[in-house]
Structure formats: C-alpha cells, structure tokens
Structure 1
Amino acid sequence: MSTASRQLPPAVSAVEGERLIAPPEPRRTGRRRAARDGGFTPYALLTPALIVLAAITGWPLVQLLIMSFQEFGRAQIFGAPPEFVGLDNYAEVLTDAAFWEVLARSLVFTAVCVLGTMVLGILIALLIKRLGTVLRTLVSVGLLLAWAMPPLAATIVWGWIFDTQYGVLNYVLVHWFGQTQFEGHAWLIEPLSFFFVATIIIVWGAVPFVAFTVYAGLTQVPDEVLEAAQLDGAGAVKRFTLVIVPYIRSILIIVTILQVIWDLRVFTQIYALQSIGGLAEQTNTLGVYIYRVSLGSGDFGTGGAISVIVVLLLSGLSIFYVRRNIKEEAL
C-alpha cells in the first residue's frame, strides 16, 4: 500500500482489500431532531383536541378537587357559600372502616372481572382466528350484538334470568336437573351470589371488546413464525406464550389497563342489581358508594374526596403499566 493511501482517513482508504469504516454520524441538534420528527406540526394538530379535552374533562376535575376540600352539602346546592375544611374530608374518608371495606370489595371484584374478561376474550379471539369466513362472521355478529346492548338493558335481562319466581335459571335447575333447593332461590340476597351475577353481566359485556382487539393483534403475527415454531415441535401453549404474546404484549397491557379502569368504577350494573333485589350496604362498590355518599346523604365534599382518591388510584395503576410497557419495548 502506498504512502498516500496510508495518510488517508480510514473511511477513504478502502482500497487494496481494507475494510471500510464509516465516519461517525454528526450529533443531531434539537432543531434538526425537531425537523426530522415533524417539527411542531404534530403539536399544532393536537392542540384543538387538547383544548376540548381540557374544557370537558379538565375543568370539572378541577372543580371536583376544589370541592373535596370544602364542606359542600345540600345548602350549598341552593346557593349557600361553601366552607373550606382543608383535609378534613380526606381524614374522614381514610378513617372510615366502611370506605376500606368497599375499596377491598371493589379491588377483589375488579380482579375477578378483569381475569375472566381477559381469559375469555383471548380464547374467543384465538377461536375467531381459526374459524372460516361464515362462522367467523356469525361469531363477530353475536359479539357485536352483545357489545351494542346498553348496560342497563343487559342488566335487566340478566335480572329476569336470575329472578326468584320466574327466572329461567331456577326453572332449569329445578325441572331439568332436579335441584329442588333452587325452588324460589334468591340470587341477589347473598353478597357472594350477588357478585357472581354481577361478574357474569360485566364479563359478558366486556368480552367482545377484548376479543376484537386481541384478534386485530393476532392478524399482525406472521404466519411464517408460527409455522417455524410448529415445525420445531412447539405445541399450541408454547406457540401462544413464546411467539404470539411477545407480538401482542403491548395490546394486552393496554386492554388490561382499560378493563381495570372500567371495572373499578362500574356503576350501572351494580346499582341496577341492587334496585332489583340486592342489599346495598353489603354490595356497594366504589362507583355506587360515591353516588350514595354524594346524592344519598348530600355530602358532596366527602364524595369528592373519595372520587379524587379513586382517580389517584387509577392514575397510579395506569402510569405503572404504561411505564413498564415502555421499558420492555426499549429493551
């Protein structure tokens, strides 16, 4: 190799069989990075939506936060000025044994509902993936009909099924299976059977969303990867856990977060079942408990404090799962 070639930088002296070493890329400045990422155009497009969201959600949330520090009752509804009481409402809530009982009941109920919804939704999504066009259409239509039914209407229908005197379930158990102990059985009196009915209603209404969302994620899994795993001897369970789950992990996390949020603040189904025949004091969940404290007793300040605590709890769960998802994707 000549002397001139030796004096050239490594990126230039690629002759005579030597390896080409590319020069390091210049560090991008903030202005160049902003230009490459689209500049301020994405933020400008998001600004109107953020303004509407702040007006619709942000301002009521601020009012709720202010109310949680006030003594706000029926007198204040009719124009009496509210009195700031500091953290008294929060202290009253956190020292109330009824609140902790409702919180524990709601967390257990949410865990059962989310687990049942996710398992059934994933199984139905896998089933839809394997069905033909005709059966897939029929199953999709059935799921859409279940999803489109309003929660109150669905609860009333399920209430008829579990009715004490005229319920279909009691009739089937007594006349078809000979279970005479279910003659006139009241499913909504006992708290355990009450939440059994509530779990069926909530899971039944939430499964279609999970099934469709997971099915959309399954369509993005390459068939070649699944075929290669099958040729390597991986069974159905291993193909799902080792191949499919890594592809749809972010979808599963987001869907789980949404289900936790929806089930923890569920209101319509629980309140309707209590109106049909359930005992409110033994079956209250957070959503119904806030309603009864605020409108039932007229203590909107305490109800606002409970609402803020629930918002903080849901925000903490959401931030935890989102950060965990981001860290896993960064690895």
Structure 2
Amino acid sequence: MTTTTSRQAHASDGGRKAGGSKRGLRPANPRSALNPRYLPYGLLLPAMIVIGGLLLYPLVQMIQMSFQKVGLREIRGYPAESVGVGNYQKIVESDLFWAALRNTVIFALIAVTLTLVIGTLVGLLLNKLGKKMSTLVVIGSMLAWATPAISSAIIFRWLFDDRNGVANWVLNLLPDFLSQALFGRSDWSGFVWFLEPAPLYTVLILCVVWQSFPFIAVSVLAGLKSISSALYEAARVDGATAWRIFWKITFPLLRPVFSVLLVLSIIWDFKVFTQLHTLAGGVATRDAFNLSLYSYAEAFSAPPKMGIGSAIAVVLTLILLAVTFVYVRQMVRQEELR
C-alpha cells in the first residue's frame, strides 16, 4: 500500500514538473517574426544600399553633370550653370566624337569576335585534355586573366617597343617577300606602333584578347562538363564530324552561356580605357580615341570640361544598356519557347 502510494505521488509530481515545463515554453508570436516572403529582400537590403552608394549615386551625378557646364570654377565650389542639352549638341556636332565612336565599334567587333572564338577553341581543347594537363593550362590561362590591366598594357608596350621590342625583332626574321605580302613592309627596324591608330589598335586588340580569352575558355569548359557524353557518343556512331557535332549539340546546349559571355565581352571591350591610355601614352593621339578615352580627355585635360565628358559617358552607358537589353530580351524569349 505504501509502495503504491509513493508511486502515485511520484507520478503526480512528475506530471506537475512536465506540465510546468510545458507551461514555461511560450509559443513564438507569429506576428513578431519576419514574414518568410520578405526575408530574401531583408538579406539583400545591406548589399543594395552599398551598391546604391557606390554605383547609383555616381551615375546620378554623372547624368546631372551632363546637363551642366562644369569646369575649374565649378570644381572650386561655385554653382554649376545649366546648359540643357547643349553638351550633347556639342559632342554630336564634333567630328572627334564620331571618330571615337567608329573606333570603339570596330575595336569591339574585332576584339569580341577573336575573344569568343579563341576562348571557345581553348575551352574545347581543355575538355579533351587529361585532368593534370587541363589543370595546368587553366592555371596558366587564369594568370593572364588575373593580370591587372595596366600591367598587361606595360608588358605589350615593351614587347612592341620600336627600339628594343621583341615584336619588331621577330618580324624582321620573316623572309622579305612574306613580310611584304602580309604586312606591306619588309623592314621593321625602328617601326613605331603607337603613333597611328591602325598599329596602335592592333597592339590593343592583342593585349585585350590575351587577357580576356581565359575567362571565356573556363566558362565554356564549365558548360561542356554539364553536357552528357552519351550525346557525343551517339553523334559519333551516326558518323557526325567534329564541326557538325559542335553546331548541332554543343552550341545549342551552350547558347545561354555564349549569350552571357557575348554581352559581358561587349561591355568590357566597349569601355576599354586603361590599356589604350597606357599604350597611347596619354591623350596625345586624338585620332585613336575611343569613347572612354575621349570622355576622359574632355573631362580632365586643360581646361577641364566635365559636363561634356559626362555627356560622352552617358552616351556610352546608353549604348551598353541598349545592347544588354536586346540580348537579355532574346534570352528571355528563348526560355519562354522552351
């Protein structure tokens, strides 16, 4: 009887403890917790504030300055005079603007094409190589991509130096008839590459492509790794050539990758500045201006005309936004068709 009573007392005491512990746990207030629907926006808010401060604010300032006359007087603190669309009228009426726009478009067309073609070929090669050799080539290529723009420009300026450059020495080793047929000259001793637009942009294209193709190659390699090898095996069984396999299997499956790489390459090559400024030795060669160097020259050369420089930068930004919009819209349509 005593044992039974003690067991009942122990059970009722345990029940009170259990009940007390359950009463001690307060349920969470659903109203005080952040709605899961808005949680991603809350996490992105700090980054958006930083991006807005670093990118959007300078962009707004640039657009505002493009409608104003901003020179030394305004830099010292005097209020800027509004000129409306006067800055845009001046650059449209300038022959130098159209020459810079032509140089920008032609350079971007050649550089983007060579970058995508060479990067794609290297990516296909990396996919065929063994693991060790592929890793070695990727590391070597990425070192070129990671090289700062000003460092690569200095290297190419040394390579194409008129007195001690390696390029002139190698070209002089070619037979005279071959050099004359290919380049229109047989003697390269003392040839200056950085005074005329054509040879200057030749060096610039080599510099930019050398530094840009590794990113394309690695991106293409990553895309190739996602394609099933069974598709290639079936195509080879059917007797398809390597060219046909690329256009019928690889390219359609990697079309989104190529679209992104194309847009990024256009943006990068349209706004090339550091390499051109370093190779040209400043802003003395006005015939070789692109839009970025033209904007810099107008904004910071004496006397500074930052309003006109801002207007040129706005035009360049609008061109890049238009190109980006066209390709993003095309990608969205392709996704909808799928």
TM-score (norm 2): 0.83
Task: Identify the residue that residue 58 of structure 2 maps to in structure 1.
Answer: 60
Tell me if 1:229 matches 2:235: yes
Task: Identify the residue that residue 121 of structure 2 maps to in structure 1.
Answer: 123
Q: 1:68 touches 1:302 (CA, 8 Å); kept in 2?
A: yes
Q: How many angstroms does 1:69 deviate by? A: 0.8
Give, in whole Å, the separation in 2 of the partners of 1:199 and 1:176: 22
Cα 1:181/1:330, change in 2 over 3 Å: same
- Cα deviation per residue 1:16-63 (whole Å; 9 max; x = unaligned)? xxxxxxxxxxxxxxxxxxxxxx73333333222222111111111111
Tell me if 1:290 matches 2:288: no
2:305 alignment partner AA: D
Give, in whole Å, the separation in 1 of the partners of 2:88 and 2:129: 53
Instruction: Please give the secondary structure, in 1, of the residue aligned with 2:106.
Output: helix
Task: Identify the residue that residue 24 of structure 1 maps to in structure 2.
Answer: none
Q: How many angstroms does 1:135 deviate by? A: 1.4
Give, in whole Å, the separation in 2 of the partners of 1:55 and 1:216: 34
Instruction: Please give the secondary structure, in 2, of the residue aligned with 1:185.
Output: coil
Q: 1:189 touches 1:279 (CA, 8 Å); kept in 2?
A: no
Give, in whole Å, the separation in 2 of the partners of 1:108 and 1:78: 39
Tell me if 1:187 matches 2:181: no
Among candidates 237, 241, 247, match of residue 247 of structure 2: 241
Give, in whole Å, the separation in 2 of the partners of 1:300 and 1:184: 38
Among candidates 36, 42, 45, match of residue 44 of structure 1: 42
Among candidates 144, 151, 165, match of residue 167 of structure 1: 165
Give, in whole Å, the separation in 2 of the partners of 1:234 and 1:175: 42
- The 5 Å alignment of 1:311-322 reads 311-322=317-328
- The 5 Å alignment of 1:1-331 reads 39-175=37-173, 177=175, 181-275=187-281, 280-296=285-301, 297-331=303-337
1:203 alignment partner AA: V
2:299 alignment partner AA: S
Give, in whole Å, the separation in 1 of the partners of 2:136 and 2:75: 51
Give, in whole Å, the separation in 1 of the partners of 2:55 and 2:275: 24
Task: Using CA pairs under 8 Å that are at least 6 residues apart, name the structure with larger relative contact order, 1 or 2.
Answer: 2
TM-score (norm 1): 0.85
Instruction: Please give the secondary structure, in 2, of the residue aligned with 1:113.
Output: helix
Q: How many angstroms does 1:194 deviate by? A: 1.1
Task: Identify the residue that residue 27 of structure 2 maps to in structure 1.
Answer: none
Q: How many angstroms does 1:176 deviate by? A: 6.1
Give, in whole Å, the separation in 1 of the partners of 2:284 and 2:206: 18
Question: Which protein has the larger Cα radius of gyration, Structure 1 or Structure 2?
Answer: 2
Q: 1:187 touches 1:193 (CA, 8 Å); kept in 2?
A: yes
Give, in whole Å, the separation in 2 of the partners of 1:135 and 1:301: 53
Structure 1 stretches of at least 4 aligned residues deviating more than 4 Å after TM superposition: 175-180
Give, in whole Å, the separation in 2 of the partners of 1:79 and 1:132: 63
Cα 1:279/1:78, change in 2 over 3 Å: closer
- Cα deviation per residue 1:146-205 (whole Å; 9 max; x = unaligned)? 112111111111111111111112122224646651121112223211111110000000
2:321 alignment partner AA: S
Instruction: Please give the secondary structure, in 2, of the residue aligned with 1:181.
Output: coil
* Unaligned runs of at least 5 residues, structure 2: 1-35, 180-185
Q: 1:229 touches 1:239 (CA, 8 Å); kept in 2?
A: yes
What's the C-alpha RMSD, in Å, of the aligned pairs? 1.6
Give, in whole Å, the separation in 2 of the partners of 1:250 and 1:46: 26
Give, in whole Å, the separation in 2 of the partners of 1:204 and 1:121: 10
Cα 1:111/1:176, change in 2 over 3 Å: closer
Q: How many angstroms does 1:279 deviate by? A: 5.5
- Cα deviation per residue 1:222-268 (whole Å; 9 max; x = unaligned)? 11111112222221111111111121111111111111011101001
Give, in whole Å, the separation in 1 of the partners of 2:127 and 2:167: 32
* Of 201-210 and 135-144, the range deviating more from structure 2: 135-144
* Of 130-139 and 117-126, the range deviating more from structure 2: 130-139
1:160 alignment partner AA: W
Give, in whole Å, the separation in 2 of the partners of 1:209 and 1:194: 24
Give, in whole Å, the separation in 2 of the partners of 1:169 and 1:280: 22
* Of 199-208 and 83-92, the range deviating more from structure 2: 83-92
Instruction: Please give the secondary structure, in 1, of the residue aligned with 2:187.
Output: helix
